[in-house]
Structures are given as C-alpha cells and as structure tokens.
Amino acid sequence: MEQTKFERFSLKPFIIEALTKELNFYEPTEIQERLMPSILKGESAIGQSQTGTGKTHAYLLPLLNQIAAEKKEVQVVITAPTRELATQIYQEVGKIITYSPDEISAKLYIGGTDKQRTIEKLKTQPHIVVGTPGRINDLVKENALIINKVRSFVVDEADLMLDMGFIKDVDMVAGQMPENLQILVFSATIPEKLKPFLKKYLANPRFTHVAPKQATAAKIEHVLVPARHRDKLKLVYDMLVDFNPFLAIVFTNTKKNADIVADALIEKGLKVGRIHGDLSPRDRKKMMKQINDLEYQYVVATDLAARGIDIKGVSHVINYEIPTTELDFYIHRVGRTARAGSSGIAVTLFETSDDDALNKLEKLGIEFVNKDFVAGEWKDIDDRKRRQNRKRVTDEVDALAKSIVQRPKKVKPGYKKKMNREMEQIKKRKRRLTKKQK
C-alpha cells in the first residue's frame, strides 16, 4: 500500500485503507492538518474556509475514527442546508465505512422522502446520521430518531443554513443532545447573525480560518464581456455554441431568469438541464443524477448549485448576471470549474451599473480579461476603466488650460475664439506630454 501522510494522525487501519484505495488522498490539506488533531481529541471547533479546501474530510475522518461499532446508538449527526449537499456527504461516509471490519451504519434523512417509511425503519438506530435540519428535527420530534447519546454534531455550510432559515431547526436538534457535546461548525463566512448560535453552544471552540491563497482557483480565466444592451439570451447561446464545452453552467440570480434562459436555449436546440429551488425533490434528485451521468452539456442554475454541490467536469461557467445579494456567490459560482487542478473559463456579462461590484471583486485579487464576442469571434477589447480614466485626464487638462488662459481685461471682438485656440494648443501639448510619460 502506498505511504500516506495521514498515518501520523493515528487513524484506524480501515480509514487509511479507504484513503488510499478509494479516495486517493495521500496528503492532508491545510484545514485537515490544522483541525483533525483537535477533532480527534473530542474538542469543539469552528472552521472557516471556502469550498474545495477539503473541509468535509477534515471532520469525517476523525469522527468516523471514533465510532464505537458495538454501541447500537446514534453517535454522530451531520447537518447540511441542501438535500444535494447532504447526499454528497452521505456518499463520502459510505465510501469510507465500507472498509470497516466492523459494521458501521449510516443513514441519510432529507426532505422529499417518505417520512412514515423512514420512521418504521428506525427501530434500529444508525451510528451516523446525515441530513437536512428540517427532516432530522421532524424525526426527533416523532421520537423516532434518538439523539440523546450523540457525541458529535456537525453544522456544515452554516452561513447558508442561516440564509435559508434553517438555524432554528439546527438549534432545536442541538437542544436535544447531551451537554458535553462536540460541535463542529463549518462556514465560508461567519456573519453577525450566526454568532448568537455559536455563543450558545460553543464555550471555548478552536477557531481555524483557512484563508484562500487566492480568491479563486489559479487555473480559471476570468473573462468580462460587456452586455451593451444586446440580446443577452442570443449572446449566451452564441458563446455556448462556440465553446462547445464538456459541461457548462449558466448562473442567474433568480429562479424566473433561470427558467427564461433555459427555455430560450432549449428553443434554440440545446439540451439543457436546470437546477433551482422550484424543482420538486424528486425532480432535483433526477436532474443531479442526469447531470452527473453527463446527459446534459449545458445547465442553467441559481446559486443553489454554487454552494457545496459537486458537479464534476465543469469546463465553463457563464454568469448571465453578477450576484446582487452576496458578492461571495461569484467565488462560489466560478469555483464549480477548474477543480482538482484542471483549468476552466468563467465568463461574466456585465452592465455599466456593475462597476462597483467588479471593483470589489478585483480588490479580492481576481484579474479579469476584457473581451467581446462579435459575429462568432472573440476579440480583445479595452479595459472597461479606460473610458473613465480618459475622461478624468480630459477633465484635468481642461481645468489646467482654463487656469492658464485668462480672460482679457479689455474685451475685443473675437476674444472667445482666440481664448479657445490658446486653450486647445495647451491641451495638445499636455496630451503629448502625458503620452510620452506613459
């Protein structure tokens, strides 16, 4: 078996075997390196990091290491804000526990499934529970899921949990657990509204913030394309056809716009999948399976798909519009591509009103290239700021010329023309000088 640097954490042999044979992990990421020792000791922790940093396995590996298979009781509960993310975590759990010599059971509890049938099957309690807070809370209230002996409770994507209104359910579930509970909270950001929850349940947690070395993956090319009052639907279609992507996701800000874009692309003959909150649980599950089975080359989605959902093989991301509520969603969106060391292209259509948002993204270290797509061809164009800079230089030159050329005390016929000529000569000299300096 190939050597792995995870061995220094003294993990059980079956976990090391799963890491090498199933997951192909040989070296811990920064967040795994920093958090796993304290989680293995049973300490509570807050981990702040972006997606793609390895945080899921930062808690899964130590928690699965602590499962006592002989005790037929719920020992670990993991909550996630969306059904898709909960399903992914559950699948990762499954990959590891299949290597255990002792039988470790894990169950997935999410909305959109038959609750009564779930309750009937809970005569035997699983060791590990993964699910959405609402469904887990329902099962606890029904006295079907017994969580009074839980040792570890994970709240994943906590800021999104807050945004989606699930913190109340999380709070109610945590309230039914033992006092000496290990709580692990993971979040891309720590908003003010989340702090009361953290203060209530975590006395002295270990706080680990893994700041990304850069806001987005190194191999993403960020392209800005001006909308310029053009037909954006046609522009997106033309770009997608030109890209001929392995898999492209077009992001919109609203469910309504997602449907408008998807319908327009379908009308033009493309086979398009869609992901947004108005799909029924069954349809969402079916859609995710079809996307992962590569039945679609194009997907239109709202920001539901930007956080946590792992869609493999995304070569292109198109932002039909810039996120308005949270600029962080730009980073989550483009993070769907250029994963695991591959490259990707992220195209953003922008209006002049988006300048403030783009300036903020540039301050995060994102470097945009300015291009346009005209008549089926990509063209390099001037930086969007060039016009602003040119206007500012012109204003400065005008002010300088006016300050030098004074109005004569005695006004003669044609003085205005003479003044304007003098001012133009000064402006020309100033512009020539500015050009030489550049």
- Which tens digits make up the pLDDT trace of 324-345? 767 778 888 887 776 655 678 9
Q: How far apart are CA 210 and CA 192, in angstroms?
A: 19
Where do the domains of the chain lie? Answer: 5-209, 220-380, 386-437
Give mean pLDDT, residues 130-157.
95
State the chain's mean pLDDT as an integer: 84
DSSP conformation letters of 394-427: HHHHHHHHHHHSPPPSS--TTHHHHHHHHHHHHH
Common-topology check for domains 5-209 and 220-380: yes
Count the Cβ atoms, other than its own, within 10 Å of residue 294: 11
Reported confidence tier of residue 213, pLDDT bands at 50, 70, 90: low
pLDDT score at 391: 47
**Top-ranked range on mean pLDDT: pick from 256-270, 278-292, 301-315, 342-356:** 256-270
Q: How far apart are CA 266 and CA 78, in angstroms?
A: 38
Contact yes or no for 122/109 (Cβ under 8 A):
no
Encoded amino acid at 63, one letter = L
Q: How far apart are CA 89 and CA 415, in angstroms?
A: 80
Q: Is the pLDDT at 268 greater than 90, yes or no?
A: yes
For the chain, how big is the Rg over CA atoms in Å? 28
Q: What is the 3-state secondary structure (H, E, C) of 197-258?
A: HHHHHCCCCEEEECCCCCCCCCCEEEEEEECCCCCHHHHHHHHHHHHCCCCEEEECCCHHHH
Q: How far apart are CA 66 and CA 169, in angstroms?
A: 26
Contact yes or no for 145/122 (Cβ under 8 A):
yes
What CATH number is given for 220-380 in this structure?
Answer: 3.40.50.300
Q: Is the pLDDT at 52 greater than 70, yes or no?
A: no
pLDDT score at 55: 87
Picking from 298, 353, 296, 290, the residue whose alpha carbon sits closest to that of residue 324 is 353
Handedness of CA 88, 92, 93, 97 (dihedral sign): positive
**Top-ranked range on mean pLDDT: pick from 53-67, 184-198, 384-398:** 53-67
Contact yes or no for 179/41 (Cβ under 8 A):
no
pLDDT score at 201: 86
The number of C-alpha atoms within 13 Å of 208 and in the hemisphere containing its C-beta is 25
What CATH number is given for 5-209 in this structure?
Answer: 3.40.50.300
The packing angle between helices 255-267 and 232-243, to 10°, is: 60
Among 58-62, 209-213, 267-271, 290-294, the least confident range:
209-213
Give mean pLDDT, residues 100-124.
90
pTM of the model: 0.66
